Chain A
Amino acid sequence: MIRRLMLAVAVAALPLAVLATDARRDAILADYAAKSRAADPSAPAFSAQRGETLFRTKWTGGDPRTASCTACHTADPRVPGQNAKTGRPIEPVAVSVNPKRFTDPATVEKQFTRDCRSVLGRDCTPFEKGNYITFMAGQ
């Protein structure tokens, strides 16, 4: 009950724009959760820790220039990154410093497809995508 009240107060204090982007991100997460359960009914809830592991792991199946997500997004999601292939700067991916992150479903899907193939050499599963966004939403 108290938690509910506190939440209500916090929500009332948030600017509307942030609320709207949070709602869009939540919808994307809900979609990945549904797909994840469809693939595996016993799939656990998304975890930031699993997302962080996906983010930091050095994979071997992809492009050697991009062994991990950090190759372009840097080890600290709160700072600007740089595309390892083209040199183009990339805005921070942590939601705390860049609230518009993970709010457009088509962009999110397109980038997951490109970036997972580049880093892991395969598509990420809905479970992995949900974990990744959960991690970044807490950063």
Chain B
Amino acid sequence: MRPLTPTLALLAALLLLASPASAGNDWMPPVRDATVQKECGTCHMAFQPGFLPARSWTHLMGSLADHFGEDASLPDDKIAIIRAYLTANAGDVVNQGRAARYMQWVAPGGTPQRITENPDFLRKHHFADSVWKDPKVVTKSNCAACHSGAERGLYK
């Protein structure tokens, strides 16, 4: 692997510094379902269901043929398994810790499709353009480029 660029190394250091003892409350339960890991973790990491309400996951699973411009279609049996897992563990179902903080910003009945547009996300990710254009980052949704514990739900 290529070494971290200076800006990213700086961010990594910042992340290490910004870690008080309150980790329990900040933990986001990771994806534990093998089908979700495999099918939703191929193009990007398998995002934790706690970041979006159940309504959002239902909508997302019903529109995989046009998934952020990608065709992420799956057979119906897989869709059913994944939808069941994501909605059962969604932010409004978990409703505590970090999931609850993200849900505070979701309008009643709203179906946001992006984690990266939640105001809780935005206020923690005010970085210079050069950071987002780093070839290791590519896009905001590439959580693991900056959070080495992202897959385990650790964002500190």
Contact = CB atoms under 8 A, between A and B. Distances in A.
Nearest to A86: B44
A3 interface: no
A118 B72 CA distance: 11
B82 to A, nearest CB: 14
Given A88-B142, A114-B71, A83 B43 contact: yes
Interface of A: 80, 82-89, 114, 117-118
Nearest to B142: A87
Contact of A87 (B1, B71, B72, B137): B137
15 contacts: A82-B135, A82-B136, A82-B138, A83-B43, A85-B70, A85-B138, A85-B139, A86-B43, A86-B139, A87-B139, A88-B43, A88-B45, A88-B142, A88-B144, A89-B1
Contact of A117 (B1, B71, B142): B71
B88 interface: no
Contacts of B1: 80, 89
Contacts of B35: none
B71 A84 contact: no
A76 to B, nearest CB: 13
Contact of B142 (A86, A114, A118): A86
Question: In which size bucket is the chain B interface?
Answer: 10 to 19
B131 interface: no
B145 interface: yes
A47 to B, nearest CB: 29
A89 B41 CA distance: 11
B136 A87 contact: yes
A81 to B, nearest CB: 11
B141 interface: yes
A80 B136 CA distance: 13
Interface in B41-67: 43-45
A114 B141 CA distance: 20
A82 B136 CA distance: 8
Interface string B114-155: 000000000000000000000111110110110000000000
B1 to A, nearest CB: 7
The 7 A-B residue pairs with the shortest CB-CB distance, nearest first, are A87-B138, A87-B142, A86-B44, A88-B44, A86-B43, A87-B139, A87-B145
